[in-house]
Amino acid sequence: MAGQGTLAREIVTELGEPPDILLVPIGGGGMIAGCIAWLSENAPQTRVGGVEPAGAAAMAAALGISARILPASDERWRTRIRTDAGELAFQDWFVRLRTEPAAIGVSHDGPGIAAPAALEAVANADLVVIGPSNPIVSIGPILALAGMATAVAARPVIAVSPIIAGEALKGPAARMMESLGHGSGAVAVARYYHALDAGLVDRFVLDEADAALAPDIADLGMAPAVLPTIMRTDADRATLARTLVGSDP
C-alpha cells in the first residue's frame, strides 16, 4: 500500500507544489490508501477524493454516500486556451505555464454531446446550483454541451459568484474574465451567464463584501442574494449549502 503512495509524491513533484485536491481512481482501495498515507505526512492540506464507476461504486456504498457525481459528457470535450503564443491545452497552460501568457480566447475540442444521464438529472432536479467555480473553464464547458444550457435554464437556478471584491479566492477566474474582455468582478460573472442565456440564472449570490453590487445584479433580471460565501471549513461549506438549498430561487 505504501508503495502506491509514490503516485502522490510524483504528482506533487511534477506540479511543484501540493494540489488543493487529488482525485484518485478506486479499484481495490490500495492506491487511494497509499496516497492518503503519503499526503497525510507530506501535504496534509491536500484533500483526497475517490473516483469510481457508477456500476461498481463499492466504496460509495461502504461509506453510505448517496450523492451521485455524473460526468457532463461521456465523450472527449477538451478545453483549449488561445494565447499570443498560440493555442494550448488547458492543463498545459494552467499547470505547466501557470496561466502565462494571458488567455485571449477559449475553445472546445470534441463532439460536444451531453451525457444522457446528466441531462436526465438536470431535468429531474428541484434546484440547480452553479457553484463558485471559474465560469470560463469550469462552468462554461458544461453549458456549451448541446442541450445543456437549455436544460439548466428550464429549472430553478442559483449561481454563486466565484469572485469577491474583484478577486478570485483561488485560480485565474478574475484575470481570465478581464483578459477575455468580460470585465472583472462579480457583476461580470453575472453578465457572462446572462449572455449565455438571459433566463439561465434566477438568483445570483454575492458575498457580503459585494453587497453594494446587488442593484446591478437586479438590473440583469436576476434576484440578488447576499451571503457569507467564503468557505474555510467544512462547517462553512455545509452552512452555505443548506442556505442555498433552503432558499427560494
Residue-level pLDDT, tens digit, the chain, 249 residues: 667 788 999 999 988 888 889 999 888 888 999 999 999 999 999 999 988 877 777 878 887 878 888 889 999 999 999 999 899 999 889 888 888 899 999 999 999 999 999 999 999 999 999 999 999 999 999 999 999 999 999 999 999 999 999 999 888 999 999 999 999 899 999 999 999 998 999 999 999 999 999 999 999 999 999 999 999 898 999 999 999 988 666
Answer whether 145's CB lies under 8 Å from 112's CB: yes
Q: Indicate if 6 and 126 belong to the same structural domain.
A: no
Q: What is the pLDDT of residue 77?
A: 94
88 DSSP β-pair partners:
81
Residue 170 lies in a domain: yes
Residue 182 lies in a domain: yes
Considering 37, 63, 89, which residue would you say is the last residue of a domain? 63
Burial 213-238 (b: 16+ CB within 10 A, else e): bbebbeebebbbbbeebebeeeeeee
Q: Indicate if 124 and 239 belong to the same structural domain.
A: yes
Q: What is the pLDDT of residue 1?
A: 64
Q: What is the pLDDT of residue 56?
A: 74
Residue 95 lies in a domain: no
Q: Indicate if 232 and 153 belong to the same structural domain.
A: yes
Considering 45, 63, 81, which residue would you say is the last residue of a domain? 63
Considering 42, 63, 84, which residue would you say is the last residue of a domain? 63
Q: Indicate if 56 and 165 belong to the same structural domain.
A: no
**C-alpha cell recorded at residue 131:** 457553484
Q: Indicate if 145 and 36 belong to the same structural domain.
A: no
Rounded Cα distance, 142 and 131, in Å:
13
Q: Indicate if 127 and 214 belong to the same structural domain.
A: yes
Rounded Cα distance, 152 and 193, in Å:
12
Rounded Cα distance, 104 and 80, in Å:
11
**C-alpha cell recorded at residue 177:** 474574465
Domain that holds residue 14: 2-63
Residue 84 lies in a domain: no
Q: Indicate if 51 and 152 belong to the same structural domain.
A: no
Q: Indicate if 241 and 138 belong to the same structural domain.
A: yes
Q: Indicate if 126 and 48 belong to the same structural domain.
A: no
**C-alpha cell recorded at residue 244:** 442555498
pTM summary value:
0.80
Q: Indicate if 159 and 225 belong to the same structural domain.
A: yes
Residue 101 lies in a domain: no
Q: What is the pLDDT of residue 219?
A: 97
Q: Indicate if 18 and 131 belong to the same structural domain.
A: no
Residue 16 lies in a domain: yes
CATH code for position 140: 3.40.50.10680
| Count of structural domains, the chain | 2
Q: Indicate if 46 and 158 belong to the same structural domain.
A: no
Residue 98 lies in a domain: no
Rounded Cα distance, 221 and 223, in Å:
7
Residue 164 lies in a domain: yes
**C-alpha cell recorded at residue 175:** 484575470
